[in-house]
Structures are given as structure tokens and as C-alpha cells.
Amino acid sequence: MYKVIVVGTDGSERASVAYRHALELAKMSGAELHAVQVVHLAVKAGFADSSGGQLEVDQMREHAERSNAALVAEAERQGVSVQVHNPGAADVADALISVAEDVGADLIVVGNRGMSGMSRFVLGSVPNKVSHHAPCSLLIVNTEPN
């Protein structure tokens, strides 16, 4: 089955749906899990003044650190090996593809929805871009609330 799985996350509830799917697949197949979280500071901070912009950047970093700690703790509870990647890439899809190539992934897991508003417009559709450029199979998880 799968040996190396890469999953995209941004710490949101929707992204955690995709993460839980990837974690379950990793647990069932004995795969190594790689979680990729990109904090794209230029888009998130926007045109805020320097002190306001820095506060937002600091808050995003803290959120990413808490989110990463929760991902690792959940994987450890389930007996799954996980490595968290926080690439400095500006594009989420490119970061997922790059990590998948670097670790020799045989599956990438992403949610069908996640970003909204300006971030989605600027960054484009992550699942769409990954589907055209992934070096391995891709699972797009439905993250719509039931």
C-alpha cells in the first residue's frame, strides 16, 4: 500500500479533516506521514502597518506552532511516525509538490476546500494545481461540514 504520505494542513478545522484521513491511511498501511503547513506571510499580512503587520505575523507563527504540536501529539497517540514541514514557499501547492518529491511520497492528501476570499484568489486552487503536477497519487478529501 502506501509507504510515505504527504498531507497539507493550515491548522483549520477543514484541514484537520484531511489530516485525519491521512493519519488513518498511514496507520492502516504503516506509512510515514509528512504534514506540510505553509504560512504565506505576504498574503496574510496584507497592507497592515508595520507594527500591526508584525503582530499578525507573530500570531500566525504561534498558531502554526500550536497546530504542529497538536498534529504530532495526535500521530504519536495513534502510533504513526510524523514529520512536520514548514517550508518558506509562497505557494501552498508548490510546497506540497516539493515536499512530496523530497521525501519520495506515494500519496498526497489535501482537502477540497480550505482557503477563502483574497487568499484563495491570490494562491489559486491548491487541489487543482497539485492534481496537475503531483509526482504521485493524490487523494482529495471532502472537507464540507456534514
Angle separating helix axes 92-103 and 126-133, nearest 10 degrees:
40
Name the DSSP class of 35.
Answer: E
pTM comes to 0.83
User: CA-CA distances (angstroms) from residue 71 to 17, 25, 29, 43, 63?
Assistant: 12, 15, 18, 24, 12
Q: Which residue has the higher pLDDT, 87 or 145?
A: 87
Please provide the average confidence, as pLDDT, over all residues in the chain. Answer: 83
Region of poorest pLDDT, from 67-71, 119-123, 126-130? 119-123
Structural domain boundaries in the chain: 4-141
Report yes or no: 12 and 137 within 8 Å, Cβ to Cβ: no
The pLDDT tens digits of the residues spanning 52-108 come to: 667 777 777 788 888 889 999 999 999 999 999 988 766 889 999 999 999 999 999
More confident residue, 6 or 55: 6
Residue bearing cell 487568499: 119
Phi, then psi, of 7 in degrees rounded to 5: -130, 140
- The H-or-E segment that residue 98 falls in is helix 92-103
Most confidently modeled range among 17-26, 86-95, 124-133: 17-26
> pLDDT tier at 119 (50, 70, 90 boundaries)?
very low
Residue environment code for 83-119, b if the CB has 16+ CB neighbours within 10 A, otherwise e: ebbebebebbbbbbbbbbeebebbbbbbbebbbeeeb
User: What per-residue confidence (pLDDT) applies to 122?
Assistant: 41
Q: What is 4-141's CATH topology? A: Rossmann fold (3.40.50)
Q: Which amino acid is at 108?
A: I
Taking alpha carbons only, the member of 111, 27, 10, 113 closest to residue 70 is 10
